[in-house]
Amino acid sequence: MTATDQAEPTRREQILATAAELFAARGFHGVSVADLGAACGITGPALYKHFSSKQAVLAEMLVSISEQLLAVGRARVAAADGPADAVRALVDWHVEFALGHRPLIIVQDRDWESLPEQAREQVRRLQRSYVDLLAGQLRALRPDLTKATAHAAAQAAFGLLNSTPRAGHAISDDALRTLLADMAVAALGAG
């Protein structure tokens, strides 16, 4: 396999990606199991071979993206050359994620209440750890920041970056990538 080759997605991954697109377009409650199955080229009942329910699809979708954000974020921090580089690496990672996964951001924002409580708590824990990651690097870079201020700054930066689905239709993704990353780094005082 070459560096440009990618493995074919599994049926489960295909279902998750298709569900993200459909949920983003029509909302969680606007998509039936039959709709999701048809969009994946299977019958609605065949979906139950892969997931126990439509809520299980939503739960895996949002838990797995939160796990991915945190895992890659930790790896980027570990590879960084100091806190300023770590902040930039985290911002760049989040911009990359946001541009590549617009539907997931919409789904999390709009369909949060449809997420089962256990999954909601898991996503909250993962996202708190992700915010802690950026806040910790901000405090290392800017010792004058209190823990509360660093967390507020991290939350605000992620809010800016998560506006991606509603921004940039008039500019290219490359231009939007640069704009968002530069704005976030400047707002964090890390530039």
At position 121, the amino acid (one-letter code) is E
Question: Any idea which residue has 């298709």 for tokens?
Answer: 18
- Farthest-apart Cα atoms in the chain, separation: 58
Q: What is the DSSP letter of 155?
A: H
Residues near 107 by Cβ (< 8 Å), separated by ≥ 6? Answer: 20, 23, 24, 28, 58, 61, 62
Convert the pLDDT of each residue in 24-54 to its tens digit. 999 999 999 999 999 999 988 899 999 999 9
∠ CA 173-178-184, rounded to 5°: 120
- Whether residue 3 has pLDDT greater than 90: no
Which of 60, 47, 51 minimizes the C-alpha distance to 20? 60
Which of 143, 139, 58 minimizes the C-alpha distance to 106? 58
Convert the pLDDT of each residue in 51-85 to its tens digit. 999 999 999 999 999 999 999 999 999 999 999 99
Q: What is the pLDDT of residue 1?
A: 44
- Whether residue 191 has pLDDT greater than 90: no
Q: What is the pLDDT of residue 7?
A: 80
pLDDT tier at 168 (50, 70, 90 boundaries)? low
Mean pLDDT of 144-159: 97
Q: What is the pLDDT of residue 104?
A: 95
Residues near 51 by Cβ (< 8 Å), separated by ≥ 6? Answer: 12, 15, 57, 60
Mean pLDDT of 128-156: 97
Q: What is the pLDDT of residue 170?
A: 83
pLDDT tier at 2 (50, 70, 90 boundaries)? very low
